[in-house]
Amino acid sequence: MRALTEPFKIKMVEPLRVTTEEYREEALRKAGYNPFLLRSDDVFIDLLTDSGTGAMSDRQWGGIMMGDESYAGARSWEHLQRVAQDLTGMQYVLPTHQGRAAERILYSIIGGPGKVFISNTHFDTTRANIEYTGAQAFDIVCPEAADVESYSPFKGNIDLNKLVQLIEQHGAKSIAAVIMTVTNNSSGGQPVCMENMKAVRAICDQYGIMMVIDGCRIAENSYFVHHREEGYQSKSYLDIAREMLNLGDAFIMSAKKDGLVNMGGLLTVKDEALSVKCTNLLIISEGFTTYGGLSGRDMEALAIGLTEVFDQDYLHYRIRSTTYLGEKLRDKGVPVVWPIGGHAVYIDAAKLYAHVPVDEYPGQALVIDLYLKGGIRCVEVGSVMFGKYDEQGKLIPAANELVRMAIPRRVYTQSHIDYVIDVFDDILEIKNRNKGFRITYEPPFLRHFTAHFEPIN
Ligand code: F0G
């Protein structure tokens, strides 16, 4: 096979600063060993997130200059509305400043005490927005996902048997919605197949339950459906996305991912009465209906990004480059979630740092070593992020102890990725020196963003 090449040329560059290991050791200490509290100037390769970190194209930057900043009825709004309606098949489109604003609007309307949400896996802000209303959120990813390292084409799917069980157990009336996250971010960036989505639609119809698609990585998901699901090889990525989104009653999108923009979000719904309730909240908290939380230029860039993201060459490069990193790490003996997902490589830190007990956070240990050795920033997706405490204050660990290396879109080149792969030689050599971490400060919600840690010696 030929070397993977980026299907773009670079027209503008942003310098990266090279630092020493001693410097990074001090930076970590100052940041309370939390990568979210590091200065980005002190990071060499930033794989913290693929959210809002992508590079826009020349066409998008051109669109920025053409943005219509009118308060009401702006051209850029009409452009975005057209693109969003065409993609989702949903008539009512609400622009928000990012994904969680769309979540807050929708879930505060349909949630509340006594309500239950069921998902393949709720993303952390999704769960937080739901629980904040007093509702409960249940994750029921398919059983194949439990076997982290074995191949299965659609490990992001929901468990259909458990879905029916949960509905029967709680009663259809108390189920606020079934939320399908595509790709399934917190479960390894794994895709969801059309068959699973259609089955969820049928169950929701049977019980009269709303189906929401959290589709911030819908284009990446479409790539996997095209290449792995029978009957989709002759359909375009855009048509596959259309078919999938059309199955939902509502669509939530953090446009910072497959919208190919640095800020933005969307909420689209089919039902008029629901759209009116959402619109009222939008106006109170985000902005008027034709801009929401966005400026005209943001909407213009998003309308263009939502079209570009379905480009065949772009999507092939995108998925192949993430897979390249994952395959090379696996070849070195690093345990990774398999197959490799769309936007990130997930490393099984419980296995790689097996000498660190779960309540001393093996994922955090790997995150810290990667920064120390290579200036690489990534994020723990394990018991720091999802752990809870029982009544005695003992940690209830997360299902897995993963570390996510998310790849910003169109930002790093093949040689940056090769550098990351090289740094793992050091990690394999030094990992046993790291004894894990204890938390010295944590807030009540979403603790991973602001917690402080200290190393255990
Ligand atoms: N849903 C999913 C599946 C997400 O991955 C995210 C964000 C959101 C909702 C919330 O969107 O950030 O625009 O408010 N994920 C980012 C990440 C933060 O790093 O995975 P937002």
The 3-state secondary structure of 288-347 reads CCCCCCCCHHHHHHHHHHHHHCCCHHHHHHHHHHHHHHHHHHHHCCCCECCCCCCCEEEE
Tens of pLDDT, residues 324-358 = 999 999 999 999 999 999 999 999 999 999 999 99
Q: Is the CB of 256 under 6 A from ligand 1?
A: yes
Q: Is the CB of 107 under 6 A from ligand 1?
A: no
Q: Is the CB of 187 under 6 A from ligand 1?
A: no
Tens of pLDDT, residues 114-158 = 999 999 999 989 999 999 999 999 999 999 999 988 999 999 999
Task: Name the residue of 103, 254, 343 whose CB sits within 8 Å of the most ligand 1 atoms, as the mutation to test its pocket.
Answer: 254
- Angle, vertex CA 35, rays to CA 365 and CA 191, nearest 5: 80
Q: What pLDDT was estimated at residue 1?
A: 60
Q: Is the CB of 405 under 6 A from ligand 1?
A: no
Per-position b or e across 243-267, b if 16+ CB within 10 A of its CB? bbbbbbbbbbbbbbbbbbbbbbbbb
Nearest CA to ligand 1 atom 18: 51
Q: What pLDDT was estimated at residue 149?
A: 87
Provide the residue count of the chain.
457
Q: How confident is the model at residue 267 (pLDDT cuts 50, 70, 90)?
A: very high
Does 198 have pLDDT greater than 70?
A: yes
In the reported structure, the alpha carbon of residue 231 is separated from the centroid of ligand 1 by a whole-number distance in angstroms of 30
In the reported structure, the alpha carbon of residue 256 is separated from the centroid of ligand 1 by a whole-number distance in angstroms of 8
Q: Which amino acid is at 273?
A: A
Q: Is-above-0.75 flag for pTM?
A: yes
| Contact between 385 and 395 (Cβ < 8 Å) | no
Q: Is the CB of 305 under 6 A from ligand 1?
A: no
The ligand 1 atom at the shortest distance from the C-alpha of residue 265 is 13
Q: What pLDDT was estimated at residue 4?
A: 84
Tokens for 451? Answer: 């917690």
Nearest CA to ligand 1 atom 9: 99
Tens of pLDDT, residues 387-405 = 999 999 999 999 899 999 9
Q: What pLDDT was estimated at residue 178?
A: 98
Q: How far apart are CA 391 and CA 65, in angstroms?
A: 56
How many Cβ atoms sit within 10 Å of the Cβ of residue 429?
A: 10
Give the domain ranges of the chain: 21-50+311-455, 58-308
Averaged confidence pLDDT in the chain: 96
Question: Could you say which DSSP state residue 395 is in?
Answer: E
Q: What percent of the chain clears pLDDT 70, i.e. is strictly above it?
A: 100
Q: Which amino acid is at 404?
A: R
| Contact between 76 and 93 (Cβ < 8 Å) | no
In the reported structure, the alpha carbon of residue 383 is separated from the centroid of ligand 1 by a whole-number distance in angstroms of 18
Q: Is the CB of 216 under 6 A from ligand 1?
A: yes
Q: Is 116 exposed, middle or buried (0-12, 13-18, 19+ CB in 10 A)?
A: buried
Q: Is the CB of 176 under 6 A from ligand 1?
A: no
Q: What pLDDT was estimated at residue 226?
A: 98
The answer as to CATH 3.40.640.10 being correct for domain 58-308 is: yes
Nearest CA to ligand 1 atom 16: 51
Tell me the β-bridge partners of 380: 403
In the reported structure, the alpha carbon of residue 99 is separated from the centroid of ligand 1 by a whole-number distance in angstroms of 6
Tell which residue, 82, 101, 98, has the closest CA to residue 90. Answer: 82
Q: Is 161 exposed, middle or buried (0-12, 13-18, 19+ CB in 10 A)?
A: exposed
Q: Measured in whole angstroms, how far is the alpha carbon of residue 99 from the centre of its chain?
A: 10
Does 299 have pLDDT greater than 90?
A: yes
Tell which residue, 123, 137, 136, 144, has the closest CA to residue 49. Answer: 123
Tokens for 117? Answer: 């949400």
Q: How far apart are CA 439 and CA 457, in angstroms?
A: 14
Tens of pLDDT, residues 32-71 = 999 999 999 999 999 999 999 999 999 999 999 999 999 9
Q: What pLDDT was estimated at residue 444?
A: 86
What is the arithmetic mean of pLDDT over 109-116? 98
Mean pLDDT check: name the lowest of 107-116, 413-422, 443-452: 443-452
CATH of 21-50+311-455, one of 3.40.50.10470, 3.90.1150.10, 3.40.190.10, 3.40.470.10: 3.90.1150.10
Sign of CA dihedral 51, 336, 183, 138: negative
Q: Which amino acid is at 183?
A: T
Q: Is the CB of 348 under 6 A from ligand 1?
A: no
Q: What pLDDT was estimated at residue 120?
A: 98
Tokens for 412? Answer: 């790093």
Tokens for 170? Answer: 């709680």
